A and B are shown apart, each in its own frame.
Chain A
């Protein structure tokens, strides 16, 4: 498996952390704060804990949700500090949001399509519990557990040690908590992360509208009919990109591993939902597929096999 994209992802996420620490040292006018300023969960927590809406946070939060609407969950694989740790320490097969199994799903895996629905439910439950608790005790409780916050907390603790020469318990407690959350709670991102709940909702709307870019395999050159399962084995979310439609691609974090590893370079990022579903990205009935005329100008063998592949996928739903 080629890992150049992963190296780029690590660099990008690390650069964000370095920039945050550098900005903290510049002081003066550069009061940029941390990623916490943009957090939708933080916004909701503070609103219920202080029983007043922090309006000044709203533009940043809406901007983040708008970016998710445009780019999908690219934040999860490219910027999230906890995913950075998974990328660095996760070995050859870093876990994705949905708990990578490390092997290709069976053709048209039915459970993949429902993964986002189930995780939205558990994430929603976590969000509801944390809002109720925050309201009751009047402080934002999740901030003390959030892996993104813990990464920043560890950075500040290191900063204190080396700049102010003040070691603190944070240096021991926070890395241990991170370790537990990301490597013992392997389904943290999928089942717990309340930020993922907001992202998941936006992603659902995005899929419904067939908006934005997604990785899509070209039926002309894809060799999945010959048994190739490369894209689904390299995908941290176990998405069979060759067969995926908009619904399955809700789990996609645009990490780019499938683009890099596809042996025939058939996968590209393109606008809208998968071609056969393009007009309506909601599940298509078999009758809709029957209306589609077979493309005559393609070589007969390639056309039949690739169409067959596409047919399989449509039938799955």
Chain B
């Protein structure tokens, strides 16, 4: 009986080929450290590496989001993180309703922890921001829901305060620079964008150029060098709205 259950040559070859493919994909992921790539994640994602490990790419958070701002990482963005949720603020912004966290079946998005209400940090792009060329545009400051997260400097240019900003994306959503400059809605032309606090771009002090943003937007920095979550500022929307940021008890 045991003799009849020997593995056929074709079955062995097929299983071997797939085993090699899996080791290859895994090795590629380990060498390139794509799991750490710094995407702007939905609320409750502890870290990029943790999300990539725990997410089963079931797309429930996408379906749960009432604003449709959660989108899967495309294959061109990352092989390892393909299908994991990231945020795109073209159509809306996050008000921390936590429906995505409630929908997540794996705990990849979960309550508690420093990143529960910290998506990233907004960055002013100096060659795209209209206020850097002509003063007068204060849309991001006016629309920002967090008191004190965006202020104007001496030249009436927006300045983001990372210890207040929770990365909700309202500024990026409403930034009119692309329509003021050209009728090109590509996200590169937004004058202010949200990036992950673990990204290279987030470390730049003050405004960045388009090139700097493009080069460092998803490039991860070492965990110790990552910008800490915001500690001040209150997001007025969403449940528990009166809770002080940083107070995670």
Contact = CB atoms under 8 A, between A and B. Distances in A.
Contact of B105 (A30, A54, A144): A54
Interface in A186-211: 187-188, 190-192
Interface residues of A, number: 68
A32 to B, nearest CB: 7
Interface in B62-87: 62-66, 68, 72, 74-76, 79-83
A187 B10 contact: yes
Contacts of A192: 14-15, 18
A54 B54 contact: yes
Contact of A138 (B15, B35, B60, B79): B35
A52 B60 contact: no
Contact of B5 (A37, A56, A118, A145): A118
B54 A52 contact: yes
Given A50-B50, A136-B26, A34 B15 contact: no
A26 B12 CA distance: 44
A169 B17 CA distance: 24
Contacts of A114: 1, 4-5
Q: Is the interface of A mostly helix, strand, loop or mixed?
A: helix
Q: Is the interface of B mostly helix, strand, loop or mixed?
A: helix
Contacts of A121: 5, 7
B5 A33 contact: no
A307 interface: no
Interface string A128-139: 011001101111
A38 B167 CA distance: 33
A115 to B, nearest CB: 9
B56 interface: yes
A136 B30 contact: yes
Interface in B20-42: 21-23, 25-27, 29-30, 35
A111 interface: yes
B72 A156 contact: yes
A143 interface: yes
B54 A126 contact: no
B39 to A, nearest CB: 14
Contact of B15 (A50, A51, A125, A144): A125
A37 B15 CA distance: 25
B28 to A, nearest CB: 9
A80 B176 CA distance: 46
B6 interface: yes
A166 B18 CA distance: 31
A56 B35 contact: no
B74 to A, nearest CB: 5
Given A145-B25, A149-B57, A23 B15 contact: no
Interface in A157-179: 160, 166, 168-170, 173
A34 B57 CA distance: 9
A31 B81 CA distance: 21
A20 to B, nearest CB: 9
Contacts of A30: 63
Given A36-B56, A133-B22, A31 B15 contact: no
Nearest to B56: A42
Contacts of B103: 31, 33
Interface of B: 1, 4-8, 10-12, 14-15, 17-19, 21-23, 25-27, 29-30, 35, 49-50, 52-66, 68, 72, 74-76, 79-83, 99, 103, 105-108
12 contacts: A24-B62, A28-B66, A31-B99, A33-B60, A33-B105, A37-B60, A37-B105, A54-B107, A137-B26, A138-B49, A138-B52, A169-B75
Closest 3 CB pairs of A and B: A191-B11, A117-B5, A114-B4
Given A31-B103, A118-B8, 15 more contacts: A27-B65, A39-B56, A45-B56, A50-B106, A54-B107, A55-B107, A118-B7, A126-B22, A140-B56, A156-B72, A156-B83, A168-B75, A170-B74, A185-B17, A192-B14
